[in-house]
Amino acid sequence: MPTPGVPVVSVGVLGPLRVAGATAAAETVSPAGPRAKTLVVALTLAGTDGVTSARLIDDLWGDEPPVSAKAALQTLISRLRQAVAPGVIVSTPTGYRLGDPRASDLQVARSLLTTARIRPGADPATVTSLTGEALRLWRGAPGSDLEPGPVSDELTRVAAALRADLLRVAASARCDLGDTVGALEALDELATDAVGLEHEDLVVLRMRILRGSDRRTEALQVFASYRKRLADELGTGPSNALVALNAELLAAEDDPLDDGRAQRGPVEPAPSAAAPARRGAHIALGLRSAPNELLGRSSDVDRIEALLEHARLVTILGPGGLGKTRLAQEVAHRAAGQWPRVAVVELAGVRDGEDVLLAVASALGVREVSAPRIRLSDPGVGPVRDRLVAVLAEMSTLLVLDNCEHVVDAAASLVSELLAETSELRVVATSRSPLAIGAETVHPLGSLPSDGAAVSLFEQRARAARPGVLLPRDVVFRLCDRLDGLPLAIELAAARVRSLSVDEIERRLGNRFALLTSGDRSAPERHRTITAVIDWSWNLLGDDERVLLRRLSRFPDGFSADAAELLGAAQGASDGRPNDRVVLGPGDIGLEPVAVADALDGLVRQSLLGAADEPGTGRLRYRMLETVREFGDLRLAEAAEEELVSDGMFAWAEAFSRSIRSSLDGADQVRSFALMAAEQDDLVFVLRQALAQERRGVVATAFAALGYYWSLAGNHAEVQAFAPEVIRMLRSAPVEARYRDPEILSASIAGSLLAFGDRRSGLLAVARLRSLRASGPAQDPRLDALSGLFLATVVDPLAFRRRLKEALASGDDVIVELATAIDGQTAENEGRVGDAFRLALRAHESAVANGHVWTIGTTASSLAELASQSADPEAALGWSNVAREALESLGAAGDLQEVAFRRAMAELSLGRYGAARRYFEGVLVDEENQGEDPGGSRLMSRVGLAEVALAEGQADEGVRLYDEALAIFRGEQSRSRSPLALLVAAAALAAHVRGGAAFGGGLSPSASAPSRAPSLANRLRTRLLATHRLSGAFEDVPIAGAAVFALGVWILGSSSGSSSGPASGSSSESAAEQWPTSLGLRLLTLAETMQGRQEVPSLVRADAVAGVTDRFGAETVEAARSSAALLTPSEAYAEALELLVDRRLRA
């Protein structure tokens, strides 16, 4: 019979996954697909906290999330909700959770275990019943039907730990009932499940059970075996308590415990950490009643309890204001019903390490000696320590030592001694620095997530301060994020709503130390203001640590040990010359490298710095909370070191930028890209400062590295943001020799604005590049070759071939590969697609041989593009996968968007409409909040959705989406001139004419074509002719071919079929109706010779050729194709322009 108050299970994870079904007929269902199963289990493990969308995406897709991960997650949730009962999964402000987190079998088992442990007056029979009910919830191996991964591993771990706890409690209860057989069965299952040595408390329990069932010899054998394994595997021996029990058994030949006790009564089990013995009433000392609900820390409480199963000292570690004390009190309260004694000792008021022993002894009721002050050297201290040890040995005790950081040495020494001399003691400590003893396991306490519990905490405290307060969720989120998720800072900010709006609080956060005051009057002085919180840690630092903290506070996004060493060593400043560098080195106010390393370690130990491995670099990255950064910045101003640190950061930026630039296009690209990704925000900060202070050399060097990295990664929006201001600073005045190469590279990068945006700034950059190169070549041969090639491309087309030939003959693999790829792109632009494929493949194979990852990715992307525009979606998909793998390893987000779009178009062409739609819809999710769209991914996703609609027979929806895309082009002047605009206009016209129908069904237009196609055709014709006039020496013949194809389709789909020429005086709606079908056929075949692009399904020529063949006959069509094939792509383009320039063709 189920226990009253325990909810009905709607989610079962203790075996193959089962969830309450959506219909009465389907009582339970197994979610379809491995990701759906993983999602349900992740929500189950999270309990009441739920899981953020970002965390779910990481759990479900790991290192390979889809491009539109949020949309993919929403789709998965939507499908899952259709399969399971209503309310099983609910949304939260930041993600999702189970509708009733208590209704999983995992949580029901936990509740039964908790009830079994703490139910007042529960007899052993009740405990046995409760644990039995919980153990029966297991239906098999948890996670057996999940894909291997972190969620599956966590479920296995949690379920195994829970079952072990249940078996321990069950064994103890059966002992109390005298059911030694059942107790041993429970212990045997534990031994089977356990890994490594059996815990000592279980050894004690097994020995007592065996003694109580007249099996004393077996009990002695258990001890002997355990002692041998301890010696063999750990080089240690059993505890004093276990040795004493063994001695008792050896001496107890006439012990009444051996006279049949198993038949007469229960056996008293030994206490354990997991389920400590109850010896009379529970004792709770120093516990404080919680003033309100503890938010966002349930997983931390569970984790600490789990750690206490095995670790004798758990230290809750973190900076001030995180809520370590509150968390420790919560752990103590939950333990109070399970442990015979729980004692909390607050050490914040202890000012001297000598007083730690007295504080602990007093809290536990150990009588003090008569001296007014005890020191370790006093003769009376020994007896106090001895009495304390004796008191702790009386019963299992959980001792909580709060705020150890200012007396950490004394606390560590005392805890080490107490743990060595007592076997039934567990300690939880809170500290800003670890105790650093062998028994310690650290639980680093993180900030509250700013999109979850932090927001809830602010809202709760704000409404308590002013019930009617308006709390805009987006403003509260930003506030919590800027406050680092620190509970104390959030509470102090929330208290300000008594006199300020939330928006006003956000605006005043620039001076947070003046704002965040007036906290809870009942709180300790150190927790009443945010300044006091940081001051508490500041006062524990040494001089070197303070120097380093204030100097490093200027880094906005963390720093490496190298940067810390450079800033720590700074001891001089600029003499005022704009390009001068700071004097660095050890001295009176500079720190030696060893001192910097020690100071970094000290700041980490005090939780003022966090340290984590940088992905892909092999380095540690150090970070400060924003609150600590601002505190350090104030101390920096007080020390009058602002100019010194500013110069030091300029020197760091120059040194790093020079060292990284040459490796960005070498064999060590992956690590170099990871280094740039790590330092990017700091370099941007320095670049902004250098622009503001007109430090020309720093600007050139930093922008050269950043701009080159952004260009390689496809992040052209970043180049657009900085290049205009950079080039305005660099465009005139002589340049120092050491900055000449950085300025050449900066000007080359800024020159790309000619293609991506600000043409005026692009022209200024090209003019500066010409001036710099006129005075001599770059020192770096690679830079000289590539900048010369770029300059020839934009200002001297006649010299382009010569420059390209020189580059191809270079002995530098990087230059040769890039030049070969450029040669291939030139061939593609000229319509020589076969040559383009051959050259791209040659560059790709060379890059593979030389390990040049970026070139591997970009050439594979080019090969995918060539396959796509040749209507070979299978090959396009294969090369896209190669490109994705390479570019993902570099984090080249911009180029990856293009690859993802090409993959989606290939999926569409292969008839996989669902996969294509999911991608396109995902790109458009939250479009208004995504800012600029320089790569056109959102624009092209409209084109993709239009093609999906056409493919599924929804012609009107398809042409509507095309109209949206064209309207966007018309509204953006810079984008309307791009080749992409011509391609989309061509696809739109073809879509209007064809309406999604195959040409085999005839060339009749869609329902909307009569009204829209003529104007679209006229605009396309005008755009094509204008593009030709403005393009100069470099034209994209295949894109022009797509436009010629669309115009041919329009004429063929609309013409009346005359064969000689336009009829005079016709009042027909479309000029196309006046022209001979032969013109449409000629344009169609010229487009084929021009290798018109076909990645968009509406532009694929095969259906059109089939349609005109049905209409005019194979012989006529083949003759037209053969005639056009005699021309080169450029000649075909020239003829098409001649045909289209006739003004009589205007609609």
pLDDT greater than 70 at residue 43: yes
What's the pLDDT score for residue 1072? 46
Shortest CA distance to 904 belongs to which of 892, 918, 884?
918
Tell me how far apart the alpha carbons of residues 1089 and 279 are, in angstroms, rounded to a whole number: 94
**213-252: per-residue pLDDT in tens?**
777 788 888 888 877 776 766 666 676 667 777 777 776 6
**Please, is 140 exposed, middle or buried when counting C-beta atoms within 10 Å of its C-beta (0-12, 13-18, 19+)?**
exposed
What's the pLDDT score for residue 193? 44
Tell me how far apart the alpha carbons of residues 62 and 152 are, in angstroms, rounded to a whole number: 13
- How many alpha carbons fall within 13 Å on the CB side of residue 966? 24
DSSP state of 559: B
What's the pLDDT score for residue 585? 39
Bigger pLDDT: 576 or 1015?
A: 1015
DSSP state of 291: S
What's the pLDDT score for residue 1107? 85
Tell me how far apart the alpha carbons of residues 865 and 983 are, in angstroms, rounded to a whole number: 14
Q: Which structure tokens are listed for 114?
A: 């908790």
- Per DSSP, the three-state class of 773 is helix
Tell me how far apart the alpha carbons of residues 860 and 886 are, in angstroms, rounded to a whole number: 9
Q: Which structure tokens are listed for 723?
A: 């290049």
pTM: 0.65
Bigger pLDDT: 496 or 904?
A: 904
Tell me how far apart the alpha carbons of residues 460 and 494 are, in angstroms, rounded to a whole number: 9
**781-828: per-residue pLDDT in tens?**
989 988 888 888 887 777 888 888 888 888 889 899 999 999 999 999
pLDDT greater than 70 at residue 563: yes
**Please, is 64 exposed, middle or buried when counting C-beta atoms within 10 Å of its C-beta (0-12, 13-18, 19+)?**
exposed
**1089-1145: per-residue pLDDT in tens?**
999 999 999 999 988 888 888 888 899 999 999 999 999 999 999 999 999 887 655
> Any residues with CB less than 8 A from the CB of 1106 and at least 6 apart, and which?
998, 999, 1000
Mean pLDDT on 404-423: 89
Residue environment code for 320-336, b if the CB has 16+ CB neighbours within 10 A, otherwise e? bbbbbbbbbbbbbbbbb
Tell me how far apart the alpha carbons of residues 410 and 63 are, in angstroms, rounded to a whole number: 45
**275-300: per-residue pLDDT in tens?**
344 344 478 888 887 777 788 888 88
Q: Which structure tokens are listed for 475?
A: 């403003």
**638-688: per-residue pLDDT in tens?**
888 889 999 999 999 999 999 998 888 877 888 999 999 899 989 999 999
Least confident stretch, 58-67, 688-697, 817-826, 1076-1085:
58-67
Tell me how far apart the alpha carbons of residues 885 and 870 are, in angstroms, rounded to a whole number: 23
What's the pLDDT score for residue 811? 84
Tell me how far apart the alpha carbons of residues 321 and 448 are, in angstroms, rounded to a whole number: 11
- Per DSSP, the three-state class of 570 is strand
Strands, E, within 638-776: which ranges?
none
- Per DSSP, the three-state class of 89 is strand
Contact predicate 839/828, CB 8 Å: no
What's the pLDDT score for residue 194? 40
Kindly report the three-state secondary structure assignment for every residue of 1073-1089.
Answer: HHCCHHHHHHHHHHHHH
Quick one: pLDDT band at residue 483, thresholds 50, 70, 90?
confident
Mean pLDDT on 399-420: 90
Tell me how far apart the alpha carbons of residues 502 and 493 are, in angstroms, rounded to a whole number: 9
Contact predicate 687/706, CB 8 Å: yes
> Any residues with CB less than 8 A from the CB of 690 and at least 6 apart, and which?
650, 653, 698, 699, 702
Mean pLDDT on 29-48: 85
pLDDT greater than 90 at residue 97: no
